[in-house]
Amino acid sequence: KQWYQRRYGKQWYQRRVRGVMGLYGAAVITEELKRRGVRFAFMMDEGCPVLKEGSFPGYHGPVGLVGTAEKGFATLRLKLEHPGGHASAPPRTGGGIVELSEAIVKLNNNPIPTNFGGGIEVAMFEHAAVSSSWWMRVLSSNLWLFSPLISAIMSIKDSTRAQISTTMAFTQISGGVKDNVLPNSASVTINTRLLPGHSIETVTNHIRKVINDPSFEIEVLYENNPSAISSTSSEGYNVIHHTIKQIFPDAIVIPGILIGGTDSKWYGELCDDVYRFAPSYLGTEDIKMFHGHDEVITVKNYEQTINFFYHLLRNLEKSFEVTIKDEL
Residue 27 or 112, more confident: 112
Cα distances from 207 to residues 111, 140, 152, 192, 234, in angstroms, run 9, 32, 23, 12, 39
Cα–Cα dist 162/225, whole Å: 16
Cα–Cα dist 314/323, whole Å: 9
Report phi then psi at 155, rounded to 5.
-80, -5
Cα distances from 103 to residues 90, 165, 185, in angstroms, run 19, 20, 14
Query: Of 119, 189, 182, 105, whose CA–CA distance to 154 is shortest?
Result: 119
Residue 247 or 321, more confident: 247
Q: How many whole angstroms from its chain centre is CA 217? A: 26
- Length of the chain (residues): 328
- pLDDT value at residue 103: 98
- pLDDT value at residue 283: 82
Pairing mode of beta strands 185-194, 43-51: unpaired
User: In terms of C-beta density within 10 A (0-12 exposed, 13-18 middle, 19 or more buried), how is residue 270 classed?
Assistant: middle
Residue 87 or 118, more confident: 87
Percent of the chain, pLDDT > 70? 90
Q: Are 200 and 168 in contact, with CB atoms under 8 Å apart? A: no
Residue 3 or 42, more confident: 42
pLDDT digits (tens, 9 = 90+) for 190-204: 999 999 999 999 999
Lowest-confidence pick of 13-27, 41-55, 111-125: 13-27
Q: How confident is the model at residue 8 (pLDDT cuts 50, 70, 90)?
A: low
pLDDT digits (tens, 9 = 90+) for 52-91: 988 887 788 999 999 999 999 999 999 999 988 999 999 9
Q: Give the residue-averaged pLDDT of 92-111.
A: 96
Cα–Cα dist 90/112, whole Å: 33
Pairing mode of beta strands 185-194, 167-174: antiparallel
pLDDT digits (tens, 9 = 90+) for 201-212: 999 999 999 999
Cα–Cα dist 204/227, whole Å: 20
